[in-house]
Amino acid sequence: MAIRLHIGAGASQMEGWINADLYPAGTIDLVFDLEQPWPLADGAVEAIYGSHVLEHLTGLRVFFDEAWRVLDDQGTMLLRTPFGAHRAAWWDVTHIRPWFAESFCSLQPGYDKAIGNPQHRAFQEKPWQIDLAQMRVAPVLARWLRWKLGRRLLVPRLQYFTDVVEELFVQLRALKSVRSVEAFQAAGRHPATVPVQYVIYAHELAGTSLAAGEPLMLSRLGMGEMLAGYRA
């Protein structure tokens, strides 16, 4: 039976998942360091979820390589992290670096050749596809985004402002077979692009408070677009 792995779980236990962390606790099922070899078999995991973990890591090559190794082909990893252009990316002194949607492009097949930079070749050995990067907008803009005109005027311009997008929710897919890599390439997507979509918490958009026990839900602000990183 395939495993669902919750990394950096801390005190946030997820039912039906193996909750893993660097530090042992009553809520933790598996203790290990994400920047060292993971104690899981190749292809044993079907899904990985990590919330506010990535920004704390220095050994990115080990992290992405090990996640790729333990996932099965087409297995997914959802990472939630502060958005690089928001102060939350830096207000915790243990954060190592900021992340943007485009930061993940280097993991995709052909990125090193597309930008003419062989230093990214190492990541090509264990390639990923970026399914979608959702950028969660701060509640301060909710009052204007409730109107269609407000959305039409604001959403295309959000990328030019700081502190208006708070978080990234990025889903990656492990491409572990020749067929999976070929399917990515056949789709015609440039390796230095990533599908993005602006979102906001549903209760913030509606102007209501979150009821006790009510789950957080994201509302889409438009259909999404392709965002391009550096191109040679």
CA atoms within 13 A on the CB side of 211: 2
Q: Answer yes or no: is pLDDT of 70 > 90.
A: yes
> How far apart (Å, rounded) are the C-alpha atoms in residues 123 and 192?
14
**Token pair of 146 as six digits:** 């409730």
Query: Mean pLDDT across the stretch 209-226?
Result: 84
Q: What does the pLDDT read at residue 180?
A: 97
Q: Answer yes or no: is pLDDT of 42 > 90.
A: yes
Q: Answer yes or no: is pLDDT of 73 > 60.
A: yes
Q: What does the pLDDT read at residue 224?
A: 67
Q: Answer yes or no: is pLDDT of 227 > 70.
A: no
The answer for 116, left when phi > 0, alpha when psi is -120 to 50, beta otherwise, is left
Q: Quickly state the pLDDT bin for 9 (edges 50, 70, 90).
A: very high
Question: Residue 165: exposed, middle, or buried by beta-carbon count in 10 A (0-12, 13-18, 19+)?
Answer: buried
Domain of 206 in residue numbering reads as: 3-228
Q: Answer yes or no: is pLDDT of 8 > 60.
A: yes
Q: How many CB atoms within 10 Å of residue 201? A: 18
Contacts of 103 (CB under 8 A, 6+ apart): 84, 229
Instruction: For residue 90, give the CATH number of its domain.
Output: 3.40.50
Q: What is the mean pLDDT of the chain?
A: 92
pLDDT above 70 covers what percent of the chain?
95
Task: For 106-163, write each residue's pLDDT tens digit.
Answer: 999 999 988 888 888 878 889 999 999 999 999 999 999 999 899 999 998 998 899 9
* Look-up of token digits 């990533």: 194
Q: What does the pLDDT read at residue 232?
A: 45
* Look-up of token digits 């062989």: 118
**Token pair of 31 as six digits:** 């203790």
Q: How would DSSP label each residue in 72-96? A: EEEEEEEEEEEBTTSGGGTSSTT--
Task: For 78-98, write each residue's pLDDT tens digit.
Answer: 999 999 999 999 999 999 999
Total number of domains constituting the chain: 1
- Give the global pTM: 0.93
Task: For 18-30, write each residue's pLDDT tens digit.
Answer: 999 999 999 999 9
**Token pair of 119 as six digits:** 């230093």
Measure Cα distances from 190 to 181, 186, 210 in Å.
13, 10, 40
CB 4 within 8 A of CB 47: yes
pLDDT above 90 covers what percent of the chain?
80
